[in-house]
Amino acid sequence: MSRFFPLEIKCPACQEPIKFNANASVNADRRPDFRDAIIAGSFQRTSCPKCAAAFRLDPELNYLDVGRGQWIAVYPYAKINDWQLLEADSREAFDLAYGAQASEGAQEIGRDLKPRLVFGWSALREKLVVLEKGLDDVELELLKMALLRGMEDPPLKVGHELRFVDLDAETGELVFVVLVSKTEDFVEELRVPRELYDEIAADQEGWRELRQELQGSYFVDMLKLMIATPAGASK
């Protein structure tokens, strides 16, 4: 249904122990309100009953939306450097649930699911919004790469991330925000003409190599191509 587990966490401001229902899985078909809350940024957010400081529990869950064809393994941003290991784990989980050993019904469902791996709430939200706006997440990551390569003073800073948040219905512009990864704090907004996205999507040859590096992977995120490979980890 969407599973929660009781957890005692400490208020980041006053260290008061707080009982919290930590989410371990979201079933968006059965609980569309959870999906809405993720997009609204309110899911797993609370405030300390003692000092009123607001905070949010980092995600560690599996997200399923059969209706929209999404299955997402979600981990805290703090684990991003282990993406190769966690991608392997996610593949194992997905194969177990939807692969050759799964029930026929599950295999049928799995054929229409796009498995993904993300780190942090903003990355999860991005995957939900990208699909909602009819965009392709691989092309979107390529667009981000073009922005980093082509912009003067590009929004690339350690500890920051560039996330797609909206498609402006009036102008057609793709709206991105630069966030502080650990806190989700807003840094700046970028509005990018839709034409650039369309040009990239139409250019099969020029982007072939980078596109291939993202396709077939669960971790469809530009950061994947930037994170240092840990010793002993295979690509």
What is the smallest separation between the CB atom of 138 and another protein, expressed in angstroms?
14
Our finding on whether 51 is near another protein (CB under 8 A) is: no
Our finding on whether 202 is near another protein (CB under 8 A) is: no
Question: Which of residues 29, 33, 36, 132 is near another protein by CB under 8 A?
Answer: 29
What is the smallest separation between the CB atom of 70 and another protein, expressed in angstroms?
12
Q: Compute the half-sphere exposure of residue 187: CA atoms within 13 Å on the CB side of its CA.
A: 19
Region 179-198 residues binding another protein, contact defined as CB under 8 A: 179, 181-193, 195-196
Q: Give the residue among 7, 74, 6 at the shortest CA–CA distance from 34.
A: 74
Residue 184 backbone zone (phi > 0: left; psi -120 to 50: alpha; other: beta): left
Q: Could you tell me which residues come within 8 angstroms of residue 117 by beta carbon, excluding any fewer than 6 positions away?
A: 72, 73, 75, 83, 86, 87, 90, 218, 219
What is the smallest separation between the CB atom of 50 and another protein, expressed in angstroms?
14
Q: How many residues bind another protein (CB under 8 A)?
A: 109
Our finding on whether 36 is near another protein (CB under 8 A) is: no
Single-letter amino acid code for the residue at 94: F
Give the tokens for residue 42.
Answer: 């309110």
Our finding on whether 170 is near another protein (CB under 8 A) is: no
Question: Which of residues 34, 35, 70, 77 is near another protein by CB under 8 A?
Answer: 77
Question: Which of residues 32, 157, 172, 233 is near another protein by CB under 8 A?
Answer: 157
Our finding on whether 50 is near another protein (CB under 8 A) is: no
Query: How many Cβ atoms from other residues are within 10 Å of residue 113's Cβ?
Result: 19
| Crossing angle of helices 121-132 and 137-150, rounded to 10° | 110
What is the smallest separation between the CB atom of 215 and another protein, expressed in angstroms?
14
| Binding-residue pattern over the window 101 to 140 for another protein, x denoting contact by CB under 8 A | xxxxxx-xxx---------xx-------------------
Our finding on whether 98 is near another protein (CB under 8 A) is: yes
Give the tokens for residue 218.
Answer: 């669960």
Distance CA 51, CA 17 (A): 11
Single-letter amino acid code for the residue at 79: K
Question: Which of residues 30, 33, 49, 132 is near another protein by CB under 8 A?
Answer: 30
Q: What SS3 class is residue 181?
A: coil
Given a contact cutoff of 8 angstroms between Cβ atoms, the answer to whether 179 and 122 are in contact is yes
Our finding on whether 233 is near another protein (CB under 8 A) is: no
